[in-house]
Chains A and B, each alone.
Chain A
Amino acid sequence: MSRPGSSPDEKGVSQNGDPGGQCPLFTNTLNAPVSPETRLLSAFARDTQARKVDLAGREYYSEEGKPFELRLVGKIKQQLSTDPTLHPEYPSSLGLREFTRKATEVALGKHSRAIVENQVLGVQTPGFTAAVRLGAELLRCWYDLSADWCGPVYLSSPCDDSLAGIFQAAGIQEIREYYYWDDKQRGICLERLLEDLESAPEHSVVVLSASAHYPTGADLSQSQWAVITRLITSRRLFPFLLLPTQALCCGDMERDAWPVQHCASLGMELLCAQSFSHCFGLYGEAVGHLLCVLKQNSVLLPVQSQADKIVRSLWARPSVGGAHVVTTVLSNSAHLVEWQGEVKHIVERCMLIRAILREKLRLLGTPGRWDHLTQQGGLFCCTGLNGEQVEFLSNRRRVYLLPGGCLNVSAINCRNLDYIAESIHLALTSSL
């Protein structure tokens, strides 16, 4: 039988339908279009300038410029590796029960009425994306029954560029945007946001960031949430909340989860995708969670069985390593205190960087307002720079931002701060 080979003769023979050669199977497969983020990463990688600065990464970087590790996590991993009671068994498809219980508690608060009344389902997922995917699939199958519901799903503008694809992969084709970040105001434009949601069809799903919005860092205030939840209720919209970096925004688990708790306390049905990768430095461990708050506990079992069915055809069961670490910390008050200490350190550092950057820009006389830098929270920040200015930064200064002008605050440190501030200044003052 002829093999797929590189010699012209063999190719010629198989194209003539030689039974030994198969029809070219995948030659119609085009190279996948490169996402803006990937393009950035490759540009950064190819950049041979010593002075290049990558401000587009997704992880929290320490002052030394390395993805951070919690000392506590290292210790706990050592402990767990010598634990004789941990067995290599298939976990349930819904994950470790202790983990989902803890993950649910940190999002809703221990004494949440919804938990007490058994209206809550928690599913451990391999990471944040997986949690969103599972949520999308669940929505598709809830709504599928009465009508062919396939959207729309409303995403903030801007948002994580993989979100649309996730919903579409779950079969929900109609994706729309709602106005969120306003470049001029350098913040959320609530008016236009409300306009967009007012005109959303009933039963639309609205994806909202609970805290530390990616990629802008701009979050809704409590009073803004009050307005939005009223709108959601009156327009019968369904909230899908994102909580990828809980505790890294305000340094406090509770405060960062306030919107979730607020919605639940109003008796709303909701989904919430959580990740523990950032706040535990467990990026490589894919520790995610999908929280479902239902209106009645009578539907808990049906929803659980659907979730189980969906999970089995996606990844069967989640991996346990990271979840064990998280559970151990959250279940032990001494660990909890130590962990909170380390997290506070991260948050304070981010706040400090924001403040210093704002100050530097002020001293340089950089045009524009920069208050938003310190009004935002979390790892990410939207500078408000436009496309041309962002390109200037990458092409001329080797400073790489996310396409929308957003950057990862933690990637700024004492060694590159001055250079970055100067670069932003130049981007705004050079004639382009």
Chain B
Amino acid sequence: MPSTAVKLGNILKVPQAAPVAVFKLTQDFNNDQFPNKVNLGVGAYRTDEGQPWVLPVVKKVEKIIVHDDRLNHEYLPILGLPEFRSSASKIVLGDNSPAIQENRVGAVQCLGGTGALKIGAEFLRRFYNGSNNTKTPIYVSAPTWENHNAVFSSAGFEDVRPYRYWDAEKRGLDLAGFLGDLESCPEHSVFVLHACAHNPTGTDPTQEQWKQIAEVMMRRKLFAFFDSAYQGFASGSLEKDAWAVRYFVSSGFEMFCAQSFSKNFGLYNERVGNLTVVARDADNLKRVLSQMEKIVRITWSNPPSQGARIVTITLTSPELFSEWQENVKTMANRVLLMRSQLKAKLQALGTPGTWDHITNQIGMFSFTGLNPKQVEYLVKEKHIYLMASSRINMCGLTTKNIDYVAESIHEAVTKVQ
């Protein structure tokens, strides 16, 4: 046997993949015995009691489903439940979207937001900017959700790069840097845009800023790939949270939008996602969907039905839809309350620095702006777990722990430089 041959039992050479930071954080939190520990690294909604929350409307709809004898258990079509796909696309694009009326909007039901990104990425790698052009640059915001990188690289793209986004000094959007990267990047580059409630910074462009971004992208022929994981959850309004996506559509972009219903339906474990495709015309749409179907066929073949059914029944029944909107507002409002309370307490404590960004930012996450040493202090000395980037999940705050957290931040900022 030649020395370069692979030994089957040689899996010792498999490198341990680096642990994913946020899950390591949760692990450490779980192992911590401190009674007042706080987990600000969790990625899901929590009630004021610190518990996961099954939306009341979801409970209702689950009962409906379980008792509905007409529902069968057949494989879903490869592209997913048709009513789910269309109602999910409507939710982000708006009922009266001209693109929908022009029959150039389609969708693929996917395994969560990740699945939607995956199918979109695999399609782009095969058919965008020539065929199999793996050198097309994919731009993701600096910083961004850590999985964006992995999804596009594993789809075969060789050049995944950051675009300037977060200005650490200003604690806000680096618009000049963002626009600069848009102007100087190669034509036809793909930009992954957060539709709202940017993860991890919580900082979104204003409507005026989105208009500027769109103008450059259109002029320079850049591809817009939206990631919409928080519609409704960010501001409490579905329309507001979809404004950027709708603006791009009305500006004439052909684009993708990866939607997740994990957060706004609390269906984390049912993997409900939708890849909305806005094409140039109906013919193009048909071709795109036919190719996406082939990609899905060799990935998971048929998506799971449970979550999609829950979402569809909710979105297509006026009563249930209103109830859902209320549930979503409940979640969004609790987050907004925690934001304003945290800021107020820090100001009351006289914590040095400005804390407006806490209420200026939106959605689940907030970049507090604490430096690594201060973060370490919070984790080690105060048993408050947050990401090294200083990202906190507002849902981890409750009326019971917010004082402790505010005081601890105050300590960290005053004691640790």
Contacts and interface: CB of A to CB of B under 8 A. Distances in A.
Interface of A: 1-6, 19-32, 58-59, 66-67, 69, 73-74, 77-78, 81, 87-91, 125-130, 133, 141-143, 145-147, 149, 162, 165-166, 168-169, 202-203, 236, 238, 269, 277, 281-286, 294-296, 298-299, 301-303, 305-306, 308-310, 312-322
Interface in B106-142: 110-115, 118, 122, 127-128, 130-131
B178 interface: no
24 contacts: A2-B252, A3-B252, A26-B128, A32-B294, A67-B74, A78-B66, A81-B65, A129-B302, A142-B14, A169-B122, A269-B8, A286-B302, A295-B9, A296-B9, A296-B12, A302-B16, A305-B19, A312-B147, A313-B154, A314-B118, A316-B114, A317-B112, A320-B269, A322-B304
A238 B271 contact: no
A130 B300 contact: yes
Interface in B9-58: 9-17, 19-20, 43-44, 51-54, 58
B300 A127 contact: yes
Contacts of A73: 73
Which 9 pairs between the two chains have the least Cβ-Cβ distance? A129-B301, A284-B305, A316-B114, A315-B111, A313-B154, A302-B14, A286-B304, A32-B290, A305-B17
Interface stretch (B217-225, B362-370, B374-382, B394-402): B217-225
Interface of B: 1, 4-17, 19-20, 43-44, 51-54, 58, 62-63, 65-67, 72-76, 98, 102, 104, 110-115, 118, 122, 127-128, 130-131, 147, 150-151, 153-155, 188, 218-219, 221, 223, 251-254, 262, 266-271, 279-281, 284, 286-288, 290-291, 293-295, 297-307
Nearest to B150: A313
Given A315-B114, A319-B271, A298 B286 contact: no
Given A4-B104, A130-B300, A302-B17, 19 more contacts: A3-B98, A4-B252, A6-B102, A20-B218, A25-B284, A32-B291, A66-B72, A87-B52, A88-B52, A88-B267, A127-B300, A127-B301, A142-B14, A236-B8, A284-B305, A295-B9, A313-B114, A313-B154, A314-B115
Nearest to A277: B75
Contacts of A145: 13-15
Given A305-B16, A319-B304, A20 B270 contact: no
B43 A319 contact: no
A321 to B, nearest CB: 4
A29 B304 CA distance: 28
Given A269-B9, A315-B118, A31 B300 contact: no
Contact residues of A: prevailing secondary structure = loop
B300 A286 contact: yes
B265 to A, nearest CB: 9
B204 to A, nearest CB: 23
B118 A77 contact: no
B115 A315 contact: yes
A316 B270 CA distance: 12
A125 B110 CA distance: 14
B74 A22 contact: no
Contact of A89 (B268, B279, B303, B307): B268
A270 to B, nearest CB: 10
Contact of B280 (A26, A128, A203, A294): A26
Contacts of B63: 81
Contacts of B301: 127-130, 162
Nearest to B285: A26
A125 B98 CA distance: 38
